[in-house]
Amino acid sequence: MTNVESVSDGEPAVRRRPKDRKAQIARASADAFGSQGYHAVSMEDIAARVGITPAALYRHSPSKYDLFRDAVLGLGQLLVDATAFADAQTDDDPVITLRALTSALIDTTIRCRTAGGLYRWEARYLRDPDRAVLVAQLKVVSHRLQIPLALLRPKLTPHQLRTLLTATLSVIGSITDHSNQLAVGEIRACLITMAADVLAAELPATRRRSGVPQPKPITVGAEAGMYEHVLYESVRLFYENGYRNTSMEDIASAVGIQASGLYRSFTGKAEILALAYRRAADRHSSDVADALSRTADPEAALDELIDDYLGRVTESPDLPYVYYTERQNIPEPDLRVLETIEHSTMDAWARLVTAARPEMKIGAARYAVAAAFSLTVDFGQLLNREAGPESVATIRRLMEVTLLGRPVKRRR
């Protein structure tokens, strides 16, 4: 269809629809959903990004969900297409093939950084048939990586291969979880190094420290007081049902009180979510201060911090996922405070990394810290209520390698 608009001399000007309108809509949809989350985006928001009316957008797509589905599966297809060359390189050096595959995934993720969080965190809103398509796409990518890795490391079990590949994809995808700035070349070099270190990691076969009690998930009941009980049950419900699908009535029911009683203490679920986030951020920040008060050795401090971090994740396995997926629902004033705490804590970790690895610049160290944190979320299925110490030791080793390029030296 051709649009007509008037010009100053009275002659109509013909404004033709751009040939790449469909691509513009796809990019705008992916960026909007990736940065704001599925529920926070409207058709009006996407139309404004493209520079068209909502009515014109509806002529391209019948619903927000259709745009969302196409955006998520479009990102998945980009990863499939970027690695397709490997299907014809079965006789090539596996070292070269694996390096080329990781480079292709890194380049694609950097190009789609704004939208990349879409399939990492928002894909949970896909309907079952569409989710199956995304899973199939990711399986194709993983299989292509697994072939050269298995040739290079034939002694690894299938489970170990999958663990290393999942960790590699987590490290690469971690750049979509934060906005720390680096030049594209520096981001690429940082990710290539971390991916290679993870793929070469030796996974622990047994418990890291025999005889040391392992932290277990905590359960908070009414005896801990209403405040603690509300925070605990809220995070559990946000994890199981999502923030949007959890009401104050649901939280009140889980706590065993009337919703009116809950409203007397909290203005709404956004306040409860913000309090849970602030609690987690403050504890993490406090752990850093405690570790630095006990030792001046940067690697020893990192050793303690990893233990403390994983201990808290193991005690509250639902929280990391909620922390990453629902932050767009935090009120802006609370979010600003939270980001201040997060940046300070990440910088403290990054300074320890650069002290232990003098060759690494602080910007790259921040990316390594973000990647290490990402591992605990993407491996959440290992840190569930049935997880054993071997699962925790595996993630610990992967965090060590991501941060330092090797396991930490044991001092305790």
Helix (H) or strand (E) holding 2: strand 2-6
Residue 13, beta-bridge partner list: 5
Count CA atoms within 13 Å of residue 8 on its CB side: 0
Mean pLDDT is lowest, of 90-94, 171-175, 329-333, for 90-94
258-268 as b/e: b if 16+ CB within 10 A: eeeebeeebee
Nearest to 170 by CA among 136, 146, 194: 194
Instruction: Give the Å distances, CA to CA, from 278 to 35, 95, 175, 231.
Output: 21, 44, 23, 11
pLDDT averaged over the chain?
Answer: 87
Superfamily grouping for domain 222-404: Tetracycline Repressor, domain 2 (1.10.357.10)
Nearest-angstrom CA–CA distance, 104 and 192: 10
Nearest to 60 by CA among 20, 22, 3, 16: 22
pLDDT range class, residue 2, cuts 50, 70, 90: very low
- The pair of structure tokens assigned to 277 is 């986030």
Reduced to 3 states (helix: H, G, I; strand: E, B; else coil), residue 15 is strand
User: 5 phi and psi, to 5 degrees?
Assistant: -135, 155
pLDDT at 8: 46
Instruction: Give the Å distances, CA to CA, from 77 to 68, 83, 140, 141, 219.
Output: 14, 10, 10, 10, 41
Q: pLDDT tens-digit profile of 382-405?
A: 555 555 677 888 999 999 999 999
pLDDT at 120: 79
DSSP code string of 283-321: HHHHHHHHHHHH---HHHHHHHHHHHHHHHHHHSTTHHH
Q: Where are the domains of the chain?
A: 67-152, 222-404
Looking at residue 124, the DSSP 8-state letter turns out to be: G
pLDDT range class, residue 321, cuts 50, 70, 90: confident
Nearest-angstrom CA–CA distance, 105 and 97: 12
CA angle (11, 16, 19) in 5-degree steps: 160
Please give the average per-residue pLDDT across 236-247, as a whole number: 91
- The pair of structure tokens assigned to 90 is 């079965």
**pLDDT at 11 exceeding the cut of 90:** no
| Whether the Cβ atoms of residue 255 and residue 229 lie closer than 8 Å to each other | yes
**pLDDT at 352 exceeding the cut of 50:** yes
pLDDT at 6: 44
Instruction: Give the Å distances, CA to CA, from 360 to 173, 346, 371.
Output: 21, 15, 15
Q: pLDDT tens-digit profile of 118-159?
A: 777 888 889 999 999 999 999 999 999 999 999 999 999 999
Mean pLDDT is lowest, of 60-74, 206-220, 356-370, 395-409, for 206-220
Instruction: Kindly state the percentage of the chain with pLDDT values over 70.
Output: 89
Mean pLDDT is lowest, of 45-49, 224-228, 248-252, 405-409, for 405-409
Q: pLDDT tens-digit profile of 202-223?
A: 998 755 454 445 567 777 878 8
Q: Which residues contact 20 (CB under 8 A, 6 or more apart)?
A: none
pLDDT range class, residue 379, cuts 50, 70, 90: confident
Nearest-angstrom CA–CA distance, 42 and 64: 7
pLDDT at 221: 79
**pLDDT at 375 exceeding the cut of 50:** yes
**pLDDT at 72 exceeding the cut of 80:** yes
Q: pTM of the prediction?
A: 0.86
pLDDT at 14: 44
Q: pLDDT tens-digit profile of 258-274?
A: 999 999 999 999 999 99
